Structure 1
């Protein structure tokens, strides 16, 4: 496939992907919480990587710690995440998913469809091809947002 054919194919595909993502239904238990994609990203890190410091989450999400603090405060009020002081440094806050099994189950089911789709898409690729794909998507996101490196 030529570069121009690949660009054309991606320009047609990406709006369909975006529409499909927008139509992803939020589980019933979470609907009243008005969760946004940014919340899903934060929750993904907590599901896959476990509890984390606010600054760690900010670095992973590539946003300011104050942004993460606001999201965490919102999710904490709604019972989705819990905040605890770091025993080694009481000034730092450790964020974790709630222990409530119903809410945790809803979060896991919300993430499962996307994780399953990525697993099927990435499984046939070699580790090097997967890394190249991720770098390509990061470069596209950066370019589409107007950020240059």
Structure 2
């Protein structure tokens, strides 16, 4: 039986783990030398899962941020050659965001940095403990929960939607 105190302790442990994961991922990103921020990394991963180049508004909705934040992220990634703005072929007023070859290469390096960070975090755990943790995390993030789009398969990024 859980108590409010034990639930509070679990919540605090989860928050501390989340902060640790972010710190380690940020360090690995910095060590990669790509000059990509965690937010830019997330945008690149999102672009990689799109069926077709999305509009800025689609990216903002997908990332759950305001459109201005996406503009800032795209500006930085475009300046470094990782994405490009392209006019929509059916509506010249619409701008789409495309991943470049440099962006795809950066994604491969970022995935390596992400794996290294995960290995560092999970290193103290046995294989069995990792399996148990995976099952527990799946239960907590709402696998199969219709309120969590794209959470139908464990350990997967969100699948592409109609626009992205």
What range is the shorter-chain TM-score in? 0.5 to 0.7
Cα offset, 1:132, TM superposition:
8.1
Gaps of 5+ in 1: 136-149
| 2:159 corresponding residue in structure 1 | none
The corresponding residue for 1:16 is: 17
Which of 21, 26, 30 pairs up with 2:29? 26
Structure 1 or 2: more helix by fraction: 1
Q: Does 1:103 align with 2:106?
A: yes
User: What is the distance in 2 between the residues matched to 1:12 and 1:62?
Assistant: 25
- Change in 2 beyond 3 A, CA 1:41/1:111: same
How far 1:93 sits from its partner (Å)?
1.4
Aligned to 1:93: 95
The CA distance in 2 between the partners of 1:40 and 1:96, in whole Å, is: 14
The 1:133–1:110 alpha-carbon spacing in structure 2 relative to 1, beyond 3 Å, is farther
Cα pair distance change 1:10/1:40, threshold 3 Å: same
CA 1:133–1:18: 2 relative to 1, 3 Å: farther
Q: TM-score, normalised by structure 2?
A: 0.61
- Give per-residue Cα distances to partners, 1:31-52, cap 9 Å, x unaligned: 252x322212212211223431
Stretch of structure 1 that moved more, 15-24 or 67-76: 15-24
Q: CA deviation at 1:96?
A: 2.1
Find the aligned partners of 1:40 and 1:67 in 2 and give their Cα distance. 14
Cα separation, 2, equivalents of 1:41 and 1:3: 36
Higher relative contact order (CA 8 A, sep 6+): 2
Cα distance in structure 2, aligned partners of 1:121 and 1:16: 14
Q: TM-score of the superposition, structure 1-length normalised?
A: 0.66
Q: 1:66 to 1:23 in 2, by over 3 A?
A: same
Question: Could you tell me how far apart the structure 2 residues matched to 1:115 and 1:49 are?
Answer: 25
